[in-house]
Structure 1
Amino acid sequence: MRRALSLLVVVTALAGAVQAAPATQIGVVLAGSILDFWQAMSKGMHRAADDLHVELVIRSPSDGMSLGAQPNIQLSMIDYMVKSGVAGIVLAPEPLQDVATPISVAVPTVLVDRSSTDYNAISTVSTDNFAAGRAAALSLVPVLHKGARIAVLRLAPNISSTTAREEGFLTVAREMGWRVVIAPYVGYQFRETEAQVRKVLTGDVGHLDAAFAPNETTAYGALHVIEEMPAGTRPRLVVFDWRPEFQDALERSMVYADIVQDPYRMGYQAVETLIAALEGHPPRPKVFVDVVTVTRANMNDPAIRAVIANYNR
């Protein structure tokens, strides 16, 4: 009887030890946490972590902090995670300052949302941003004439994703013979960006036919400014990314078209790519996640609604 009881205790202890075995930890360092884009991406990462039975350790700076008051803060976060024992890292890289690059992180690293030459990474999961910028411009081709006056509301000079979108848009503009009369950098903080957009758009002399805002903050600022304009002077606004108020703006024709990324799927695939690599499956160097062009005419199509729904999971 005592022997049977002892065996039961041993089996129970072993079962408890198996249950208590720690899950693989994956570090995540994004470029912010407030924007709807980053929140949707985080949800996709958490879903992937649940499906693949890993734990996430997330440390992200405040939106735009790496570009201003705390340059290179992501390096400190990466260092903390490596020392804490994560098996790999998913990183949305912000530009580094006064640091020798490329940096080789001590664990496998997958970039998400944007490419970067600052890090040695095994894969990049992102939108094909140049092609998406072209898609933004192509949405305007049916309604703009040669010589149309265009504004490109650039985000910042050192963000590879938005720079590629801007260049893609400008490529089509040159092909179509449009005149880009405004192309300033308007910044990445909501309030400051809106102020800069208001300054450049209301200061323009002459009719503006269209404007392109290549990310969530520039789109938000541009929408507010264009809403204030008299109806007959509003340029057609093409925006990037998704916020709930953009749906109403599309319905009211304040936004002409919205190029919507799928950050939920992007986040899921970044974690999935890293886990597969840790299990010995070499990843593709680049993994592109499709965008959709949303207009007033197609915004209720099932495929469009499915992508938008990923922001609300």
Structure 2
Amino acid sequence: MLKGKSFIIVMALLFALTLVAGGVLAAAEDIAVIVKTNSSSYWQVVNKGAQAAAKELGIKITYDGPAAETDINGQVSMVENAINRQVKGIVLAPCDPKGLVKVAERAKAQKIALIGIDSALDTRCDSFLTTNNVAAGKKAAQELIKRAGTTGKVALMLYVAGAGSCVDRAKGFTDEIKARTKMTIVGPYYSESDSAKALNQMTDVLASNPDLKAVFAANEPTAIGVAKAIDESGKAGKLVAIGFDGAPILQQYVEKGVLQGIMVQSPYNMGYLGVKAAWDKMKGKKIKAFIDTGVFGVTTQNIKTDEAQKALGNK
């Protein structure tokens, strides 16, 4: 039997080993949530959903994203760092469908649960959670046609060329416009998800197309810049403008009539359900290959309704 100092030393060693084992266990249960950028309120809502899921599950997650959506190399480095930390799950909103393939496949080779959110990746994820962006683009076109009619010019203001969500929204929108109207599409223009650039682009479009009848701005930063350009030019209410995402400033533009509608996704669900899917995969449970997180059209007519306020996350 151990006595005195020997007993204390052994117990201290056992305690230390327990702490180490606990640390290894915590690391084994870690999920990295890596989004396109930290500079958008949209992704902060994704983080809220992810953190809520982590709290509910009693697990640790990390959250990160580059300063700009165009920083593909920066996002690749973040995924590489997560792999090197030996996380067991990654929830990824890829900045580029091709640029993240190699590092995503490295994660899969390491048996890390890989959950894609928001934008497609040109390699198979264990599950992919997003708005059906083709359907969302189509819905945006339908809202625009209701108000602008079927003739005249419509500007197409996009964000990052090649990004999966951008490609799909543009397809849904243009296909619907071509199928149902005789409208002429002006553009597309790519803002690189920079509101200032979108503002300048829209200002130029308005100046060179005084007869412009409508515009579709396909994501949050682009819609903010486009709405500001319309407001500053005195064109509010004189052309139909449909935006995307539900940032507070975009809600204000809808209430003022600068924008006639915004297509609102569910970024909260992307974060919440993304973390849950990663956890289920880590635990060996069967998960769905695709989960549609939905879209809701908030307009000048319905923005005050309970349904719209819930979609915007205000209730």
The worse-fitting range, judged by mean Cα deviation, of 274-283 and 195-204 is 195-204
**Could you list the runs of 5+ residues in structure 1 that have no partner in the other structure?**
none
- Tell me the residue number matched to 1:174: 178
List runs of 5+ in structure 2 lacking aligned partners.
none
Contact 2:231–2:258 (CA<8 Å) still a contact in 1? yes
Q: Is 1:303 matched up with 2:307?
A: yes
Aligned residues with identical type, % of pairs: 25
Question: What SS class does the counterpart of residue 311 from structure 2 fall into?
Answer: helix
Structure with greater helix share of residues: 2
**Which whole-Å deviations, capped at 9, do the CAs of 1:81-124 have from their partners, x for residues lacking one?**
1121211111111224598687341212101111110x441111
Tell me, in whole angstroms, the C-alpha distance in 2 between the residues paired with 1:34 and 1:277: 30
Deviation at 1:48, TM superposition (A): 0.7
Displacement of 1:231 in angstroms is 4.5
The answer to whether the 8 A contact 1:241-1:261 is kept is yes
Letter in 1 for 2:105: I
Moved over 6 A (4+): none
Name the CA shift for 1:83/1:133 in 2 (closer, same or farther; >3 Å). Answer: same
The answer as to whether partners of 1:104 and 1:120 remain within 8 angstroms in 2 is: no
TM, length-normalised to structure 2? 0.86
Question: Does the 8 Å CA contact 1:112/1:125 hold for their aligned counterparts?
Answer: yes
| Deviation per residue, 1:234-291 (Å, 9 max, x gap) | 3110000012122222222111111111101111010011111111112211111011
User: 1:205-224 residue pairs with structure 2 within 5 A?
Assistant: 206-224=210-228
Q: Deviation of residue 139 (structure 1)?
A: 1.1
Q: Give the corresponding residue for 1:82.
A: 83
How far apart, in 2, do the equivalents of 1:296 and 1:181 lie?
24
Q: Tell me what 2:44 maps to.
A: 39
CA distance in 1 between partners of 2:114 and 2:100 (Å): 21
Give RMSD over aligned pairs.
Answer: 2.9
Question: Who is 1:73 aligned against?
Answer: 74
Q: How has the CA–CA distance of structure 1 residues 100 and 294 changed in structure 2, closer, same or farther, with 3 Å as cutoff?
A: closer
Q: One-letter code of the match for 1:253?
A: G
Contact 2:161/2:190 (<8 A) preserved: no
TM-score of the aligned structures, taking structure 1 as reference length: 0.86
Relative to 1, partners in 2 of residues 1:219 and 1:125: Cα closer, same or farther, differing over 3 Å? same
User: Are residues 232 and 244 of structure 1, via their aligned partners in 2, closer, same or farther at CA, if it must alter by over 3 Å?
Assistant: closer
Query: 5 Å matches for 1:37-116?
Result: 37-66=42-71, 71-95=72-96, 96-97=98-99, 103-105=105-107, 106=110, 107-116=112-121
Please point out which of 272, 280, 289 is paired with 2:284.
Answer: 280
> Shift in Å at residue 161 of structure 1?
0.3
